[in-house]
Amino acid sequence: MTNPIFQTIAAVVVSIAFCLLYFAGSNFVLDKLVHLPLGSKVRREQVRSSVRPWLFLAPALLLLTVYLLYPLVETFRLTLYDATGEVFVGLSNYKWVFVDQGFLITIRNNFMWLVVVPTLATVFGLIVAVLADRVWWGNFAKSMVFMPMAISFVGASVIWKFVYDYRGAGSEQIGILNAIAVGMGFEPQAWVTVPFWNNFFLMAILIWIQTGFAMVILSAALRGVPTETIEAARIDGAGELQIFFEIMVPQVMSTILVVWTTITITVLKVFDIVMAMTGGQWDTSVLANLMYDWMFRGGGDYGRSSTLAMVLMFAVIPVMAFNIRRFRTEEAQR
């Protein structure tokens, strides 16, 4: 039974058996309790109808409590304590985040990521989705653009390390960016070490990955635009740009918002690319990297790392609320 395959099969069988046993047993107990001579029969049936759904929901609620609610409460508690998590310090950690220079740089970087990456990835995805349908090799182009989605963030970072690779002046440049720069007569640069601008070199990696996602979703949405409307606009003398901006974009605007929101949430969680490319050096750190540094580097600080985790959660909440509200609005309109 040491074979991983047998262990996996055994785990699946035991899990399914446990679920069946739980639901059958809990229903059996509920039925027995309802048949006890307590109150009227109608009342007992009402109790059974109201309790039964919670029997099915109970395992999921238990898992949510253990793996989501408890970590949230514990993280918030740690924000009120010192680095060891034992001495109460009140709101000191929250005051610290607003004066720490590293945190302010991180907030600036996160803001730039939030503005640049979702916008450019969505725009590029929309442009590719429109143009690819106009050429016979459009499906091949879409496959090439979508391919980076199959690569992990770390894998993509390794690929782009070769793009930005730097060798000293006079050496042969294997990085394509420096090869182009040297070919044009400029000096080679260590691109990822140039403060401020290096953030954009890192953003290019995520844009490269997410453009494929945006293209696939928007391409499907564009196929839903009635061809009769487009043909009518052409007959009335509308140009291709007018058709794009005044017919296509308004009709797929809800999908554009979905893509933009999804990429925004991905950007808020970005960690791997920065860690693999610079390790957060040269002013490229983002919130997740700063939280990691305070927790796992330099001895660990439970209070400040937990505070950064809460800040990251507060940053995600408005985006999630916007997405849920938009989803409910669309559902109400159907």
Other beta carbons within 10 angstroms of residue 84's beta carbon come to 10
Cβ partners under 8 Å of residue 63, min gap 6: none
> What is the predicted pLDDT for the residue at 326?
75
- Rounded to an integer, what distance in angstroms lies between the CA atom of residue 132 and that of residue 141? 7
Contact 252, 303 (CB under 8 A): no
Average pLDDT score over the chain: 86
CA dist 190 and 165 (Å) reads: 7
Query: Which residue has 């109201």 as its token pair?
Result: 50
Which residues of the chain, if any, have pLDDT below 70? 1-2, 298-299, 334
Question: What pLDDT does residue 7 have?
Answer: 84
Burial class (CB in 10 A: 0-12, 13-18, 19+), 59: middle
CB 322 within 8 A of CB 265: no
How many angstroms separate the CA atoms of 271 and 248, rounded?
Answer: 35
49: which residues sit within 8 A by CB, 6+ positions away?
none
How many residues can be counted in the chain?
334
CA gap 116, 207 in Å, rounded: 9
- pLDDT number for residue 113: 92
Q: What pLDDT does residue 207 have?
A: 94
What pLDDT sits at residue 73?
Answer: 92
Residue among 294, 287, 276 nearest 316 (CA): 287
Q: How far apart are CA 52 and CA 19, in angstroms?
A: 15
The pTM score is 0.76
